Each structure stands twice: as structure tokens, then as C-alpha cells.
């Protein structure tokens, strides 16, 4: 068994919707909802949503690369978002809901760039894939009530995921929810 873990960080719009798809993957040890990519230290949810901090809602996970690959994490990420949308994700609009891959090393950067290129060339989208690939920066854990929201508030989360358009988008483009 490996003792070395790595970090992966993805911004996919509302962080509530980004935890569940990764948590059942063998080798993912923890997933934290939070904020990254901006200029404000220790931002609050309200500050991030005001689009004045530069931060995106994101998830950061610790994973065992011997049990799951970064490529597998990227495949899951791309199937949770609309990588062609510059204004946010689904009904969530604004800077804080934009998408990004935040790489932690050169290998992640190369894999992310390659997967984005393949998705752009061979994926189901008519518009170009514009999700940026950026160096990881300070990651700030979101408030506790945002952690594992999909489990703590199951009914509200399910209604939100459907109502926001995310579930329908995933079904339309990938044939799964």
C-alpha cells in the first residue's frame, strides 16, 4: 500500500455538486469544498459569491495515485461540468462559479492539458472547451455547513442539482447522472 498521497483541485461551479462524483472512487481519501484562485485570504462564502475575491468554488481531494490515477480524476471532472461556458455553470452565474483545473505539479499540468485537448477535439460539444488549467494556489476550506452538503441535506441537494440544469446536462451529454 502506498503511503504517498497527492492533491487534486478542481473548480466545477457549485462545490456541492462536485464532491459526490469523486467520493466513491477507490483511492480518494478526502474531499474538501473550498475556495481557490483568488487574492483574498480566508474568504467567506458571501465574499466569494460577491465576485470581488477572485476565488472560485472548488474541491480539493487527497488521493492515492497507486489506487486511482489523475487521468481518472480528470475524466470524472470533465463529465460534471459544461467546459464551454465562460459565465459560470448552469444556473449559477458569475466568476466564483467558473471552471478550472488547478495543477499541483508538471505531470498534472501536462495530463490536464492533454485531456482538455482531447475533449475539445473529440468531445460532444459544439463550442470550444475553454476551462483554464492553472497552477494551484492557496486553498481555503469552506464553512462547515458546505462540507458534505449532498449528504447532510440530501433532498435539497437533489432538487438543486436537477433544478440548476446540471443533472440534465450530464444526462444529455454523457448519458449518466
Point out the residues that are catalytic.
14
What is the total residue count of the chain?
A: 177
Are 94 and 88 in contact by the 8 Å Cβ rule? The answer is yes
Are 129 and 119 in contact by the 8 Å Cβ rule? The answer is yes
Strand partners of residue 10: 59, 101
Scanning the structure block, which residue is given the C-alpha cell 458546505? Answer: 146
Tell me the CA distances in angstroms from 81 to 74, 140, 148, one per residue in order: 11, 22, 19
Chain centre to alpha carbon of residue 24? 15
Distance CA 31, CA 139 (A): 12
* Residues whose CB is less than 8 angstroms from the CB of residue 169 and which lie 6 or more positions away in sequence, other chains included: 82, 90
* CA dihedral sign of residues 151, 70, 89, 37: positive
Amino acid at each position: 500500500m502506498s503511503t504517498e498521497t497527492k492533491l487534486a483541485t478542481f473548480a466545477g461551479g457549485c462545490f456541492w455538486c462536485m464532491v459526490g462524483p469523486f467520493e466513491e472512487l477507490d483511492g480518494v481519501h478526502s474531499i474538501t469544498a473550498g475556495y481557490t484562485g483568488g487574492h483574498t485570504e480566508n474568504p467567506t462564502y458571501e465574499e466569494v459569491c460577491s465576485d470581488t475575491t477572485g476565488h472560485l468554488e472548488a474541491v480539493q481531494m487527497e488521493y492515492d495515485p497507486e489506487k486511482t490515477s489523475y487521468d481518472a480524476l480528470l475524466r470524472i471532472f470533465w463529465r460534471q461540468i459544461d467546459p464551454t461556458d465562460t459565465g459560470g455553470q448552469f444556473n449559477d452565474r458569475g466568476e466564483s462559479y467558473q471552471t478550472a483545473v488547478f495543477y499541483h505539479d508538471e505531470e498534472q499540468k501536462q495530463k490536464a492539458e492533454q485531456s482538455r485537448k482531447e475533449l475539445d477535439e473529440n468531445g460532444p460539444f459544439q463550442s470550444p472547451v475553454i476551462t483554464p488549467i492553472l497552477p494551484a494556489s492557496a486553498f481555503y476550506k469552506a464553512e462547515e455547513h458546505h462540507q458534505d452538503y449532498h449528504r447532510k441535506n440530501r433532498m435539497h441537494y437533489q432538487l438543486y442539482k436537477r433544478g440548476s440544469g446540471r443533472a440534465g446536462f450530464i444526462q444529455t451529454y454523457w448519458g449518466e447522472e
